[in-house]
Structure 1
Amino acid sequence: MGACVIVTDTNTSFGLQSNSTGITAFSMPSWQLALWATAYLGLVLVAVMGNATVTWIILAHQRMRTVTNYFIVNLALADLCMATFNAAFNFVYASHNIWYFGRAFCYFQNLFPITAMFVSIYSMMAIAIDRYMAIVQPFQPRLSARSTTAVIGGIWLVALALAFPQCFYSAITEDEGATKCVVAWPEDTGGKSLLLYHLVVIVLIYLLPLTVMFVAYSIIGLTLWRRAVPRHQAHGANLRHLQAKKKFVKTMVLVVVTFAVCWLPYHLYFILGSFQEDIYCHKFIQQVYLALFWLAMSSTMYNPIIYCCLNRRFRSGFRLAFRCCPWVTPTEEDKLELTHTPSFSLRVNRCHTKEILFMAGDMVPSEATNGQAGGPQDGESVELSSLVPGCREGPIIRGESAR
C-alpha cells in the first residue's frame, strides 16, 4: 500500500499502524485549524471545570460521601484526566501528524487513554451494580468504605493491565523527517496481534459493561415502576422517596446512554479501518477523524451537566462552587442542601402490617438486615414490611425527609 495519511489516535485501544503504512501530513487551512482548536479547547475547559467541581462537591461535603458518589468521583477523575491528557495532546498530533512531546510522553499517551476509558465505564458499571443491590436486594450486605476503595483500586489495576500491551509496543519513528509516536506490533504476526487486541479491548471496555448495565437498569426499572405506594401515602414521604429513586436511575441511564452514543462512531471508525485500510488514504478522513474524536472526547464533559440539571444537591453544589460569578447567586437553601439533613418522624402502629420507608441514617431494626453490615446508604431507601402481633403503639422512628 502506498504512503497515505492514517489519522488515528495513538491514545486509544486502536493504535497507529505506521509499522506497515507510511504517514504524511495533510495540510489544513489556518481558519479550519482555528475552528477545530476552539472546539477542542472549549471541550477541555468544560470537562476539566465540570468534573473538578463534581469531585469537590462530593469530597468537601460529608453528606455527599456515599458509596455511589465515590464511584462518581472515580468517574469524574477519569474523565478529567482523559480531557486533559488525551483530548488536548492528541488533537495536536492528529491535526499536524507530528509528535512534539518526546518518547516518555509517547509511552504515557499509549497507556493512559485506555486506562481512563476502562475506569470510566467500569465506574458506571459499579454504580449500576450498587443501585441494583440497594433497590432490588436491599437487605443484602453493602459495600463498606474500605471495600469501595478496594473496588476502585482494582478497577485501576485491571485498566492498567489492559492498556499495557499498547504501551509496551510504543515507539518513536521518523517518517520523511517528521517524528511519529506509533504502536509497532510484532511483524511476524502481521495484523493479527493488532486486530485481536482491538477486539478484546472493545469487548471489555464497551460491549461487556454496557450489557451488564443494560440488564441491571432494566431490572431496577421494572422493580421501581412496579412498586406501588399505598393510597393513604400517595402524597407522603414514601412517594417522594420512590420518585427520588426513579429520578436517580433516570440520571444514570442518561449518563450511560450518552457515553455509549459518543463512543460508538469512534469504535466503528477503527473497526472499519482494520478491514479497509485504504479509507485512510482519502483526504477527507482527517476531518472525519477529528469530528469523531471530538464526539468521543465530549463524553467527558456531559456528566457534570447532567448531574447539575437533574440532581438538586449537585445543582446547589455548582451554585456554591461558582458563587464568584456575578450571574450566580447561591441561597441559604443551597448550603443546607449539602450540609443539613432534615428529619421526619412517624409512629409505628403495630396492629397492622405497614410499609415503612427508611432513609439514609435511619436505625433499621437488626432483624431487617439479619445482623449483617452494610445497611442503607445516604440518599437511598429500604422498604420494610413488619407484622407484629398485639395492638400497641410502637416507638417513634426518625429519619431523613425526602428531598
Structure 2
Amino acid sequence: MNEDNTTQIYTNKTILTNDAANESTGKMKIFEGIFKWISLSIFGGIVILNIIVIGLLMKQKKKSRMGFFVANLAYADLCVGIFHVLPETIHVWFEVDWNEFTCHIFYGYLAPFSFYVSTYAIVVLSIDRMNVVVKPLSPVTRLRIYKYGLALSAWILGSLLAIQYSVHTTYYPPQNFDEDVCLHEFPYDPEIRYFDVCVLIIIPIIFIITCYIMIYMAIHRRHTCKFMTSNSNSDGMHERVNFYAKMRTVKQLFVVSVVYVICWIPLFSASLLCYYNELQFGITYRVLVGQAPLNSLTNPIVFLLFNHNIFCKCRKSSNKNAIVLKTNSSSTNVKIVNATQL
C-alpha cells in the first residue's frame, strides 16, 4: 500500500503519514480532545434540527412543493449526520476500532452517498424554485410524478456516484498495522479528486447559477411588462403577496447555496493541497476537512430562520392562513402565502 498516493477525501484517523509524524504530539492530543466533542455536537445538531424541520413540515395541514423539497433536503442532511458524522465521531475521534462491516458499508458507501444526495437535493430544490417563478402556471410541474421524480433523481444519482467509493474501499485489520485501517485506495488518485470537485462543486454551482439567471430574467420581464399591477383590487393584492412569498423562498435558497459553497470549498482545497504536498496532514488539514458536514447543520437553521413564524402557534390567524382586507367597495378574503406554501 502506497501511503503517499492514497486518496483521502474524507477524514480518517487511521492514515499515518510522515507529515503527521512531524506534528506536535501535544497539540494533536489537545486538538483531538476538543474536536471529538465538537464532532459529537455537530452530529447532535444535524439530527435534532433536521428532525424538527421534518416534524414541522409534516404537521402543516396544507402541503406545498417548497415544503416537500425542503423535507427532501432535510432527509438527505439527516443521512449525512447518521451515515458520515456519527461513524466518524465513533471511529475517528473516540477511537473505537473499525470492523469490516462498518468500514465497507458506512465509510465505503453510505458516507459518500449521503454527501452526494445532500448536494443534489439542493440542486433539485433550485430547479423547482426556477419552475415556480418561470412557469408558475405549468400543469406539468403540478403533477405528482414531477415532484417525486425530481426529488428521487438526487437519491438515484447519489447511489450511483457512491459505488466507485465502495469498490475502492479497503479494510486492514490491526495485525497489518499498529491499529486498524479503513481507507479509499484509488489507482487513479488525482482523477478522483478532480472528479469530486466537478461533481460536488462545479456542476452544482453551474445548475444553481443557471436557475438564478432564469429566475432573474423572468422577474425582470414581468416587471417590464407591468406584471405587478398597482391596482387595489383583491386579484392584484393576491398577485403581490404570491410574488413576495416566491422571492422569499428564492432568497432562502440563495443563502443555502452560498453556505454550501463556503462549507465544501475548504475540503477540496485541503485535499488538493495535501496531494501536491502544499499542506501537511495535521491540525489545519483536519479543520478544513471537518467543515463539510456543517452544511447539513446550517441548512435547517436557514430554513427555521426564514420560516420562524411556523413556531407561533398562539397566532390563530397564522394557522388559518387568512386575513381580511377591506377595499373601498367591499371586504375580501385573501390568503396569506407563506414561504413554505409554494
TM-score normalized by structure 2? 0.80
Q: Provide the residue aligned with 1:270 in structure 2.
A: 271
Q: After the TM superposition, which residues 129-208 of structure 1 pair with which residues of structure 2 at under 5 Å, given as runs? A: 129-140=127-138, 141-173=140-172, 174=174, 175-186=176-187, 193-208=188-203
Q: Provide the residue aligned with 1:101 in structure 2.
A: 98
Deviation by residue 1:149-183 (Cα, 9 ceiling, x = unmatched): 23333321221111111111211115532110012
Q: Provide the residue aligned with 1:365 in structure 2.
A: none
Q: Provide the residue aligned with 2:320 in structure 1.
A: 340
Quote the Cα distance in structure 1 between the aligned partners of 2:82 and 2:4: 29
The structure number with the bigger radius of gyration is 1
Matching of residue 212 in structure 1 with residue 181 in structure 2? no
Contact 2:10 2:289 in 1 (8 A): no
Classify the secondary structure of the residue corresponding to 2:137. Answer: coil
Contact 1:47 1:83 in 2 (8 A): yes
Deviation at 1:23, TM superposition (A): 9.6
Q: Go from structure 1 to structure 2 and tell me whether the alpha carbon gap of 1:91 and 1:290 turns closer, same or farther (over 3 Å shift).
A: farther
Give unmatched runs, 5+ long, in structure 1: 187-192, 320-329, 348-395
Q: After the TM superposition, which residues 204-353 of structure 1 pair with which residues of structure 2 at under 5 Å, given as runs? A: 204-224=199-219, 227=223, 228=226, 229-233=228-232, 236-276=237-277, 279=279, 282=280, 285-311=281-307, 315-317=308-310, 319=311, 330-333=312-315, 337=318, 339-342=319-322
Deviation at 1:91, TM superposition (A): 4.2
Quote the Cα distance in structure 1 between the aligned partners of 2:275 and 2:111: 20
Classify the secondary structure of the residue corresponding to 2:49. Answer: helix
Classify the secondary structure of the residue corresponding to 1:181. Answer: strand
Classify the secondary structure of the residue corresponding to 1:332. Answer: coil
Letter of the structure 2 residue corresponding to residue 230 of structure 1: T
Quote the Cα distance in structure 2 between the aligned partners of 1:153 and 1:159: 10
Q: Go from structure 1 to structure 2 and tell me whether the alpha carbon gap of 1:185 and 1:31 turns closer, same or farther (over 3 Å shift).
A: closer
Cα-Cα RMSD: 3.6
Deviation at 1:298, TM superposition (A): 0.9
Q: Provide the residue aligned with 1:401 in structure 2.
A: 336
Deviation at 1:121, TM superposition (A): 1.9
Deviation by residue 1:43-94 (Cα, 9 ceiling, x = unmatched): 222211111111111123232x222322211211111121233123324555
Quote the Cα distance in structure 1 between the aligned partners of 2:14 and 2:186: 8
Q: Go from structure 1 to structure 2 and tell me whether the alpha carbon gap of 1:7 and 1:157 turns closer, same or farther (over 3 Å shift).
A: closer
Matching of residue 51 in structure 1 with residue 46 in structure 2? no
Contact 1:344 1:399 in 2 (8 A): yes
Contact 2:14 2:182 in 1 (8 A): no
Letter of the structure 2 residue corresponding to residue 309 of structure 1: L
Letter of the structure 2 residue corresponding to residue 165 of structure 1: Q
Deviation at 1:336, TM superposition (A): 5.5
Letter of the structure 1 residue corresponding to residue 37 of structure 2: T
Contact 1:6 1:23 in 2 (8 A): no
Flag the structure with higher helix content. 2
Matching of residue 69 in structure 1 with residue 67 in structure 2? yes
Deviation by residue 1:10-41 (Cα, 9 ceiling, x = unmatched): 47xxx9996x9789777455543332123222
Higher RCO (C-alpha under 8 Å, 6+ residues apart): 2
TM-score normalized by structure 1? 0.69
Deviation at 1:402, TM superposition (A): 4.1
Quote the Cα distance in structure 2 between the aligned partners of 1:340 and 1:259: 34
Classify the secondary structure of the residue corresponding to 1:266. Answer: helix
Quote the Cα distance in structure 2 between the aligned partners of 1:54 and 1:293: 26
Quote the Cα distance in structure 2 between the aligned partners of 1:143 and 1:127: 15
Give unmatched runs, 5+ long, in structure 2: none
